[in-house]
Amino acid sequence: MKTDRTVRWLSQTLITAMIVAGSLLATSPVASADPTYGTASLSYSGVSNPPTSDKPQSKLWWNDGSWWADMWTSGSGWSIYRLDRPTGTWIDTGVVNDTRANTLADTLWDGSHLYIASHVVTISGDGTPNPSRSDQPAKLYRYSYSSGTYTLDSGFPTVITNNSSESMTIDEDTTGALWATWTQVAGNSTSGFTNAVYVNYSAPGGTSWAAPFVIPVSNPNPAPDDISAVVAYGQKKIGVMWSDHLTGSVNWATRTDGTSPTASSSWNLQPAIQGKGQADDHLNLKTLQADTTGRVFAAVKTSLNDTSSDPTLPQLQLLVFKPGTGSFSKSTISTVGDCVSRPQILLDTQNNLVHAFQTAPSTSVSGCAYSGVAGSIYEKTASMDNPVFRSGRGTPVIQDAASPNINNVTTTKQSVNSTTGLVVMASDNVAKRYWFADRSLGPPTPTPSPVASFTATPTTGTAPLAVSFTDTSTGAPTSWSWTFGDGGTSTAQNPPHTYSEAGTYTATLTATNSGGSTSATSTITVDPATPATGVTMVNSTTTYSGTASTAVSLTAPSGTQAGDVLIASITADLNPSMASVPAGWTPIVNALSINSSSTSGARAFAYYHVVGASDPSSYTWTLSTAVKWGGGLTAYRGVNNTTPLDSPVATAVDTSYTATSITAPSITTASNGAMLIGGVGCDCASPVVSPPSGWTERWEAAGGQIAEQADKVQVTAGASGTATWTFSSARTVAAWRTALKPAS
């Protein structure tokens, strides 16, 4: 999103004003406290945008034993520069390509030719859409190379498109055709604005281009702020990725070389990641052409900093596409609390590492004033096979002690190794100066062993005691081994475990990575079970409908008999009402709205029923509209059949879509030995619920819309205290609770 760009511009304007006033160095102790990392390089002027931007683009390449860059230093234009490593200076080769100051470029060295795609820049934001300008051609320059000299080939530049764009990237398929992608905003403030993902392809070698076209997949129209990127990968594949704030998705469309470029049947579309706050207009793609598996690595930024104040949520994520499975894995590069932005990645074949580079405040600055603040460039690494990144911003690689305004890191599309070393470049758009970092790549640094630690909740209680174990180890463990002291084991990172017998147990976690392993322990004390009360649980059933249906059919639990009391809980998508209820069922909560919108959210229902002598084997509710749903039944024995409920009903609702827990108010029971019952409904379709401490979860619907039910005996009548359900990720939810009265 462009919020960080706007705030950063205001911040930089203020800094510039302070410099003019001659007061910055005198009043800025933070800057003087920062060490300098990397190398200051050429100054620049007269260019409209930071010359190392934009986020998906590459400005550097490796060829013939040297690093090269497309750089702007003055009004003469964009030129090819070579890095002289012994002196640490960039040398102008005198080869000028585009002289337009309002352009940015993406570079590609394919082993035979250098390609530079230069486009006129129009930056658009969701709040301030700016339509693409016509008659502003994006040009492809192709250079041949010989003996240290690049020569523009005859017939170049060719025209990719005649419209400006915020960003543009290129890659080459196995037929020699060049592919380009960009997003193009159209419209005006009266009729409204639309954005579309465009692609184009060339004849082999980029000698001519077809007519640009909107990528032929469903919904190629993201928000005005969104951008796209292209990558060639694997065996004859082209992939296009774009952000879409409107659906909360980062989308991925692929095709096979040789198929019709414009036919929708040639393209396969899937979300790389999807969910509230998961999309932002920061993405960078890399692949290993020598990788027979054809993996694609993508660094993407979320918008979770805009939807939550939780500093532990992911801000930058690494997505890895594995063509063999056709799916993406994801891991967190950095969190919201790290205050990071504008990621670039490099693939290091020497050490099998992903190098992730990102902008964050300078080293002396803690906290996060706003996402996207300029400052310094940081590096983090992880294994390409198991990309688990350490916590924090990483290691600073470019930082100016006198001007904490470095941003927009860029590097090469190529993989790197001990022969090439590693070079990244960034720019300070306040001081108007390039910076770069250059270092060798030797054998991998030994990985330290992790430091094992965990929490257990609860650590005491009566049998059977359900305990949630949560890994809090540091040092990036890659595997976990648990022993619970009662013979139980697990290899999950955060396992649950139930102790069925009274006793004192030692739970042990062994956390392991490539550097070794360490262990941690905790004592769990389990008291004898509370003596049985008049109310007992008989059995439960649960089901769901993953497709829209008006009929909610729930099967009676096995072992149910006359006089038992059934508790039904149902969560239905999109806020329907309950059109009909089975005979003999009484509402506990009726239409508890999780979100009041008719086009989103969900609605929770709960009922009770005293089983008769000739009850059916299943019960059917009818919803007012066909929607997805989840539900279940629990049978209880020993409940007062005349007055089944022993307390008022309490409810709680959180519609923010950011809830990781919900607390239902305390209720007051009238009878000793009452059975506390309650549950939650969630506007979600995957299991996420952990019951309150000391409660037993009886069931949780596995799809459709999540409904859940749990219970706990309260031996002595009176106030129960609050009950808190927790969730594995942020949700919008509702909770209800009451109590069942014992028969005597």
Counting beta carbons within 10 angstroms of the beta carbon of residue 8, is it exposed (0 to 12), middle (13 to 18) or buried (19 or more)? buried
pLDDT of residue 321: 94
Q: For residue range 70-100, list pLDDT tens digits in order.
A: 999 887 899 999 999 999 999 999 999 999 9
pLDDT recorded at residue 34? 85
pLDDT value at 592 more than 70:
yes
Q: What is the pLDDT of residues 452-502, one digit of tens each?
A: 999 999 999 988 899 999 999 998 899 999 999 999 999 999 999 999 899
Give me the mean pLDDT over the 267-278 stretch: 94
User: Of 573, 585, 576, 616, whose CA–CA distance to 703 is shortest?
Assistant: 573
Q: How many CB atoms lie within 10 A of CB 698?
A: 25
Q: Cβ neighbours of residue 287 under 8 Å, at least 6 residues apart?
A: 231, 232, 233, 234, 294, 295, 296, 297, 347
Query: With DSSP H G I counted as helix, E B as strand and the rest as coil, what are the percentages for the chain, rounded to 5?
Result: 5, 50, 40
Report which DSSP code applies to 87.
T
Separation CA 652–CA 733 (nearest Å): 8
At 13, is the pLDDT very low, low, confident or very high (cuts 50, 70, 90)? Answer: very low
Average pLDDT score over residue span 240-254: 95
The tokens of 329 are what?
């894995």
Which is more confidently placed, 31 or 109? 109
Which residue from 90, 105, 91 is spatially nearest to 59, judged by alpha carbons? 105
CA atoms of 535 and 635, how far apart (whole Å):
10
Show the tokens assigned to 118.
């230069």
Whether 100 and 118 have beta carbons less than 8 Å apart is answered as yes
- Indicate whether 3 pLDDT > 50: no
- In sequence order, what are the residues at sequence separation of 6 or more whose Cβ sits closer than 8 angstroms to the Cβ of residue 71? 42, 44, 51, 59, 78, 79, 81, 90, 434
Residue 560 phi/psi, 5-degree rounding, is -65, 140
- Across 115-149, b (16+ Cβ under 10 Å) vs e yields bbbbbbbbbbbbeebebbeeebbbbbbbbebeeee
State residue 444's pLDDT score: 61
Query: What is the per-residue pLDDT for 229?
Result: 97
At residue 422, does pLDDT exceed 60?
yes
Question: Which residues make Cβ contacts (< 8 Å) with residue 249, sequence separation at least 6?
Answer: 243, 271, 272, 273, 274, 278, 279
Is residue 224 classed as helix, strand or coil in its secondary structure? coil
Cβ partners under 8 Å of residue 529, min gap 6: 462, 463, 464, 502
State how far the Cα of 334 lies from the Cα of 352, in Å rounded to an integer: 20
Rounded to whole angstroms, how far apart are CA atoms 360 and 68?
26
Q: Nearest CA to 408 among 342, 356, 363?
A: 342
Residue 255 — pLDDT band, cuts 50, 70, 90?
Answer: very high
Phi then psi dihedrals of residue 345, to 5 deg = -125, 150
Bridge partners, 568 (sequence order): 607, 633
Q: Is the pLDDT of residue 443 over 90?
A: no
If you average pLDDT over residues 229-237, what whole number do you get?
92
503: alpha, beta or left, given left = phi > 0 and alpha = psi -120 to 50? left
- The conformation of residue 22, written as its DSSP 8-state character, comes to T
Distance of CA 694 to the CA centre of its chain: 33
Domains of the chain: 3-439 (2.120.10.10), 454-527 (2.60.40.10), 536-740 (no CATH)
Q: What percent of the chain has a predicted confidence (pLDDT) above 70?
A: 93
CB 241 within 8 A of CB 283: yes
For residue 144, what pLDDT band results from cuts at 50, 70 and 90? very high
Tokens describing residue 645:
């409920």
- Is the separation of the CB atoms in 120 and 182 below 8 Å? no
Q: What is the pLDDT of residue 656?
A: 87
Mean pLDDT across 59-68: 97
Q: Span 689-708, mean pLDDT?
A: 93
Segment 395-411, tens digit of pLDDT: 999 999 999 999 999 99
- Tokens 């809090």 -> residue: 472
Q: Which residue has the higher pLDDT, 543 or 10?
A: 543
Q: What is the pLDDT of residue 22?
A: 32
pLDDT band at 529 (very low <50, low <70, confident <90, very high): low
The CA radius of gyration of the chain, in Å to the nearest whole number, is 30
Whole-number mean pLDDT of the chain?
A: 91
The pLDDT of residue 193 is above 70: yes
Instruction: Say if residue 496 is preceded by a cis peptide, omega within 30 of 0.
Output: no
Residue 23's Cβ-count burial label (10 Å; 0-12, 13-18, 19+) is exposed
Length of the chain: 744
Collapsing DSSP states into helix, strand and coil, what is residue 11? helix
Residue 5 confidence (pLDDT) above 70: no
Residue 360 in contact with residue 409, Cβ under 8 Å? no
pLDDT in the model for residue 19 = 32
pLDDT band at 186; cut points 50, 70, 90: very high
List residues bridging with 270 in a β-sheet.
252
β strands within 514-585, DSSP E = 516-527, 536-555, 565-573, 578-580
As a whole number of angstroms, the distance between CA 109 and CA 91 comes to 19
pLDDT at res. 24:
30
Element (H, E) at 384: none
- Report the alpha-carbon distance of residue 395 to residue 401 in Å, rounded: 15
Backbone angles phi, psi at 51, to 5 degrees: -70, -15
> What is the structure's pLDDT at 8?
37
3 state SS of 16: helix
Cβ-proximal residues to 731 (8 Å cutoff; 6+ apart), any chain = 657, 659, 660, 682, 683, 684, 688
Residue 611: is its pLDDT beyond 60?
Answer: yes
Q: What is the dihedral of CA 614, 568, 570, 624, to 10 degrees?
A: 40
Per residue in 339-382, pLDDT tens? 999 999 999 988 999 999 999 999 988 878 777 889 999 999 99
Pick from 414, 407, 435: which is nearest to 55 by CA?
A: 407
pLDDT for residue 401: 93
Q: Averaged over 609-616, what is the pLDDT? A: 96
When pLDDT is cut at 50, 70 and 90, the band that residue 387 belongs to is very high
Note whether 697 and 727 are within 8 A (CB): no
Quick check: 288 pLDDT over 90?
A: no
* Neighbouring-strand partners of residue 104: 119
CA nearest to 579, candidates 541, 555, 544, 549: 549
CA 530 and chain centroid, separation: 44
Query: How many Cα atoms are found within 13 Å in the side-chain-facing hemisphere of 664?
Result: 27
Residue 610 β-bridge partners: 565
Q: Is the preceding peptide bond at 29 cis, omega within 30 degrees of 0? A: no
- Confidence band (pLDDT; 50, 70, 90) for 533? low
> Which of 159, 171, 180, 153 shows the shortest CA–CA distance to 61?
171
Residue 25 has pLDDT above 50, yes or no: no
Tell me which of 4 and 230 has the higher pLDDT. Answer: 230
Span 707-727, pLDDT tens digits: 999 999 998 899 999 999 999
Which pTM does this prediction carry? 0.61
Element (H, E) at 58: none
Alpha carbon distance 460, 445 (integer Å): 43
Angle at 75 between CA 284 and CA 281, to 5 degrees: 20
Identify the pLDDT of residue 479: 93
Does residue 436 carry a pLDDT above 50?
yes
For residues 172-183, average pLDDT: 96
Q: Which residue has the higher pLDDT, 188 or 29?
A: 188
* 587 confidence band (pLDDT: 50, 70, 90): very high
Q: What is the pLDDT of residue 12?
A: 38
pLDDT of amino acid 246: 92
